[in-house]
Structure formats: structure tokens, C-alpha cells
Amino acid sequence: MLSSQLSIVQIVAMAILPILFAIVVHEVSHGWVAKKLGDNTAYMLGRLTLNPFKHIDPVGTILVPLLMLVFFKFAFGWAKPVPVDWRNLRNPRRDMVLVAAAGPAANLLMAIGWGLIIHLAALLPNSLLFIKEPLIFMGAIGIFANVILMVFNLLPIPPLDGGRVAVGLLPPRFSHMLSQLEPYGLIIIVLLLMSGFFGGFLMPLIFFVISMIEVITGLPENSVLSVMAVLFQSGQ
């Protein structure tokens, strides 16, 4: 039985590592794949590191998540984008798709990894509850954060990863039309979120992906959302 008496300080302490890993590894994956495909820009700028200070964006990594935690009991953020010079890629059109897809793919793998951690933690005896409980809470946060980041970034709106994937896959005429939306991408995303799009479309998709991860990692159905519910209620 998981504790339901957690302070906001305890919740934040358990959330820091999985959320930072979700954001940082997502960005590093872009740069790592770009390097493998011929572009060393991120490597030369020292961005192929898990040191979070190299990736922190004052607004996206600190201000926005803190405000969301205070007002919505839920956090979402982003890091500084890893720079990629598409001109250095060996096959720019194809490689752009692979570089863009690397971030969401990394989030999926991390979500599965956190699921396996929950599975192993659940096997620990209750005499080790001081280790067992934090690992389960961190694992649930890790799954939730990574799936949100993956699904959100796969929206086919530039400059999101899904937008860049779509630009690389669409026929040239439609690819060019979509790429022209990039300067307005953030505005479009904000309008979609304000319209209820996130709750009406993305959340069911997020819950579906989480359920698939539960199946893959052998977790009981809805166990991740149950743990997140405990965290949410504790933070009230």
C-alpha cells in the first residue's frame, strides 16, 4: 500500500531526476544521431552531455514547470534545443527525419525502462519500503513525463519533432507548405492547448501509450495512473 501522505517537497524531490532525464536525454538523442549522420555541431558545442546545466532553458526548464506545479499540480517543460546543421548531414531530407525522431524514440525507451524499474521495485519486500516506495513513485513519474514528452513532440507541427518528421516525409510541395508554419508553430500549439485539444485528444492517446507500456513491462493495468493519482492527491 503506497503512502498517500507526501509533501510537495517529497514529490518534487522524486520528480526531479525522471523529469530531467526525460528532457535532457531527449535533446542529447537528437545531437547524438546527428553526429552519427555527419553533423558535429552539437558535439562541438559541448551539448552531447547528460549534464543538465548544459541544456537548461530558464523559461522552459525552470519557470514554466514551476508555475504549472503551483497552479495545476502538473509540470511540463523543455530544454534548449540541441543545434543541428542540416547541411552537414549526408542525406539531409532522410536524415532530418531520423534526427527528429530520435528524441521521441529515446522517451519511449526511457518510459519502458522506468516501467521495468517499477516492476523490479514491486518485488522488494516491505522491509525495504523506504527504497521500494520512492522507486515506484519515480518510475510512475518517469513513465508519465516521457510519454507526455513523446506524444506531444510527435504532433506534426513545426518546430516540434513530429513537424520535422512530416516535413522530411511529405512530397516537396506539401513539405514546403508545412515548413512555412514554423514561425507560427508556438502560437498554434498554445491555441490548441487553450482550446481543450490537450485534454480531448492528447490525454486519451497518452493513457493508451501508458497502458501499452504496462503490458510490455508486465505491470498491472492502470497501475501507473493509480500511482500518479496518489501523487496528485498528496499535492493538493
Rg of the chain, C-alpha, whole Å: 19
CA 155 – CA 165 distance, rounded (Å): 10
Give the number of other CB atoms < 10 A from CB of residue 184.
12
What sign for the dihedral angle of Cα 181, 182, 184, 189?
Answer: positive
Q: Report the candidate in 101, 100, 132, 104 with the shortest Cα–Cα distance to residue 119.
A: 132
The three cell numbers locating residue 130: 523506504
In the chain, what is the straight-line distance between the N-terminal and C-terminal CA atoms, in Å? 20
The three cell numbers locating residue 207: 493513457
List of residues 6+ apart from 22 with CB closer than 8 A: 107, 110, 142, 145, 146, 149
The three cell numbers locating residue 65: 514547470
The three cell numbers locating residue 5: 501522505
CA 62 – CA 20 distance, rounded (Å): 11
Amino acid letter, residue 191:
L
Residue 182 falls in the annotated catalytic set? no
The active-site residue out of 27, 133, 214, 221 is 27
84 DSSP assignment: -
Which residues are identified as catalytic? 27
